[in-house]
Chains A and B, each alone.
Chain A
Amino acid sequence: MTSYSNSNKKYSKILHETVNKNYRKRMIINKLVTVFAIVCVIAAIIPLGSILLEVVKNGASAISLEFLTQPQGSIGSGRGGVGPAIQGTIIVVGLASLIGAPVGVLAGIYLSEFAKEGKFADSVRFFNDVLTGLPSIVIGIVGYVIIVLAIGSFSVFAGAISLSIIMIPIVVRVTEETLKIVPYSLREAGHSLGISKARITLSIVLPSAKNGILTGIVIAISRIAGETAPLIMTILGTSLFFTGITGPVDALPLRIWRLASQPYESAHAFGWGSALVLILMILALSVGLRFLAQRRSFKVAI
């Protein structure tokens, strides 16, 4: 009897110690992970803060009315501005978004709501993934071979099509992922009301996934707005304003790249200025769409 009680006590003590030791170890690991995460956040914020600081600091002094509206003066003179590049970016990106956003959302809806298990849906999903991972420079080559060579000149159209190819897979992916998060019970509720599947998708599923999809579209647009590589091969860049959809045009990223490789201080200042304009345009877009999303969701809420 005594021996049993004794051994029990001993075991319980050992057990207690092991649990305690184990507990301490787990707590230490937990603390380490927390510290590591905080260090990583700080490490990421430093360069990112520096980028914004430099762009604002160097860019603000370059910006003036002349800078925003005039074509570039002679190289190295530091006169004129990047007016054609701003105009070109708005035109090319706008056109690309008009093609890319609807096609992307519809294809995403297909994958999430309509696709049956089978080869077609699988291959759409598979090749969409492939397209997502496709380097933008390859898409520039596509624009060059398919459109530029065919119509014989660098053009706005080639640029817009290329950018839309970059945009669509991003939108498709985000749309599908977001729609999948919408609980199935919402769709069941729609079915129980006897309404059509198109109506269920458009009036129930899409609105509840709207913010996610809009964020995806904004991410896609800001991505293509800053895209440089495909534009090298499609719109070429020019110092003149927009001449037509089949003519070459300038764009901010392209202009920044060209300016940065010139050996003049004034060109670099212009580059920083263009960078600030580009960031502000993207920011305005993102804030604007977010505002829109919030206002709409207020209306649709009930």
Chain B
Amino acid sequence: MTSNSKNHRNISSLFVMRKKRGDRLFYGLVIGAAGYTLLMVALVAFSVTRGSIDIFSAEGIGFVFQSNWNAVEGRESFGAFPYIIGTLLSSAIAMAIGVPISLAIAIFISEIAPPRIGTPLSFITELLAAVPSIIYGLWALFVFRFWVRDLIEKPLYDVFHGSIPFFAKTPFGLDIFTAGIVLAIMIIPIISSICREVMRVVPDSQREAAYSLGATRWETVRMAVFPYVKSGLVGAAMLGLGRAVGETILVTMVIGNVIGPGAIPTSIFSQGQTLASLVANEFNEASSDLHLSALIALGAILLVLTMGINIVARLLVKKKIKVSSGAKSQ
């Protein structure tokens, strides 16, 4: 009897020990992985700072506000201002078009459409979220830009003859407007598939409660679904904005690639350049260390810009969190 209970205790203590050791090992693994993400951030900060130090010591903070871009040896002068404007304008167009459409698509798939239509549709959006930006770029360059030129820019030009400053420019198809629309097309599947995933998390009981109070479908979405997943929806839009601001290759292919003071857009139909597209265009042909450093500094500005967007979005998300579930109840 005694030996039996002793045995039992031994086994159980062995079990506890093994359990503890396994736990500790696993904990080490996961915390190591988490630490690795921090290390990467440090690497990003280090390399961008180190790479751009030359240009900032040559041009000072003026680099951000100047618009010259001259890589000729002996007359080197670099400024990032036109590309900052180009980046902001093209992403603003993309968000203005992309976010409402994505949200509407997500609502349609998860709340309105019967599964017979919703399931294939959600499969299509999921598929399209996986289409690489280079392919959007290829399509935009060889197909879509002619649509924009012929269907939007030419008619507008024929009607107004450039009398409205914001829309004035010879229709060409390779400009900030095209870049903005294609960016929107690119981020729509991304944003809408995240929104849909997020909205699926909402328990049906929430919807049933709203319906039982006599709410219409839209009211149910607005009052029962949205509040439950607000942070997720903002997060989805945030991801989309991040993609639009930082998108490189697609923009490079359609924005027209102007450099220097001419790259400050005078209308949404003017050729432009974004921070990312200029880096992509010139990185392999950088003629000097200063030129390379200027390009990396463009990357640094892009970094600060996207970090700013992230931080603002995060604050918004924090404010709007209402329901949280899972391992940690808050």
Contact check, B31 vs A114: say whether CB atoms are below 8 A apart. yes
For the complex, count residues of A whose C-beta is within 8 A of B. 105
Does B108 have its Cβ within 8 Å of any Cβ on chain A? yes
- Bound complex: CA of A115 vs CA of B37, how far in Å? 14
Q: When each residue 120-151 of chain A gets 1 if its CB lies under 8 Å from chain B and 0 otherwise, what string results?
A: 11011011111111111111111011100000
Given that A41-B105, A107-B36, A111-B34 are known contacts, is A226 also in contact with B245, CB under 8 Å in the complex? no
Closest to A124 in B: B34
Which residues from A are CB-within-8-Å of B112? Answer: 34, 37
A102 to B, closest residue via Cβ: B33
Given A48-B128, A222-B130, A30-B218 contact (CB < 8 Å): yes
B88 in contact (CB, < 8 A)? no
- Say whether A40 contacts B101, CB under 8 Å: yes
Instruction: Name A145's contact: one of B22, B47, B279, B284 (CB within 8 Å).
Output: B47
B23–A196 touching, CB < 8 Å: yes
Whether B245 lies near A219 (C-beta < 8 A) is no
Tell me whether A55 and B314 are in contact in the complex, defined as CB-CB below 8 angstroms, given that A139-B44, A180-B326 are known contacts: no
Given A30-B217, A141-B51, A198-B22, the answer on whether A184 and B31 have CB atoms closer than 8 Å is no
Report B-chain residues with C-beta under 8 Å of the C-beta of A184: 325-327, 329
Binds B, one of A4-12, A62-70, A165-173: A165-173
Cβ of A135 and Cβ of B245 under 8 Å apart?
A: yes
Q: A181, B326: Cβ atoms under 8 Å?
A: yes
| B25 and A226 contact, CB distance less than 8 A | no
Judge whether B180 is part of the interface by a CB distance below 8 angstroms.
no
- Give min CB distance, B294 to chain A, whole Å: 12
CB <8 Å contact, A279 and B135:
yes
By a CB distance below 8 angstroms, the chain B residues around A225 are 132
* CB-CB under 8 A for A253 and B248, given A37-B108, A134-B44: no
User: What distance in Å separates the Cβ of B317 from its nearest Cβ neighbour in chain A?
Assistant: 9
Tell me, yes or no, whether A283 is within 8 Å of chain B by CB: yes
Taking the closest CB of chain B, its distance from the CB of A286, in whole angstroms, is: 6
Cβ–Cβ contact A146 & B135, under 8 A: no
Q: Are A130 and B249 in contact (CB under 8 A)?
A: no
Residues of the B chain whose Cβ atoms lie less than 8 Å from the Cβ of A134 = 44, 242, 246, 303, 306
* Stretch in B58-66, B72-80, B141-149, B262-270 with 4+ CB within 8 Å of A: B141-149
A55:B135 contact, CB within 8 angstroms: yes
B138 in contact with A272 (CB, 8 Å): yes
Contact B246–A137 (Cβ < 8 Å): yes
Chain B CB count within 10 A is highest, among A41, A104, A146, A232, for A41
B22 touching A47 by the CB < 8 A rule? no
Is B249 touching A138 in the complex (CB atoms < 8 A)? no
Q: Does B201 contact A (CB under 8 A)?
A: yes
Cβ–Cβ < 8 Å partners of A115 in chain B: 34, 328
Contact between B104 and A37, CB atoms less than 8 A apart: yes
Which residues of chain B are within 8 angstroms of A279 by Cβ–Cβ distance?
131-132, 135
B205-234 contacts to A, CB under 8 A, are 216-219, 221, 232
CB–CB B284/A236 < 8 A: yes
A169 to B130 CA separation, bound complex (whole angstroms): 17
Shortest distance from the beta carbon of A275 to any chain B beta carbon, whole Å: 5
Chain B: CB-nearest residue to A29: B218
A275/B135 contact (C-beta < 8 A), A30-B218, A133-B246, A141-B48 known: yes
Determine the residue in chain B with the shortest Cβ distance to A50.
Answer: B143
A134 to B37, CA, bound (A): 13
Alpha-carbon separation in the docked complex, A142 to B303 (Å):
12
List the B residue with the shortest CB-CB distance to A127.
Answer: B41
Residues in B with CB closer than 8 Å to A137 are 246, 248, 276, 279-280, 299, 302
The docked-state distance in angstroms from the alpha carbon of A177 to that of B326 is 9
* Residues in A neighbouring B144, C-beta threshold 8 A: 47, 50
B121 lies within 8 A of chain A by Cβ: yes
CB-CB contacts of B39-51 with A at 8 A, as 1s and 0s?
A: 0110110111011
Task: Please tell me if A75 contacts chain B, counting CB pairs below 8 Å.
Answer: no
Asked if A87 CB lies within 8 Å of chain B CBs, one says no
Q: List 19 A-B contacts (CB under 8 A).
A: A26-B219, A27-B216, A29-B216, A34-B112, A37-B104, A37-B107, A44-B125, A47-B144, A48-B131, A105-B33, A133-B242, A135-B276, A140-B283, A142-B44, A169-B37, A222-B130, A256-B138, A272-B138, A283-B130
Top-10 shortest CB links A-B: A226-B132, A135-B246, A180-B326, A133-B242, A106-B33, A198-B26, A145-B47, A110-B30, A229-B248, A40-B104
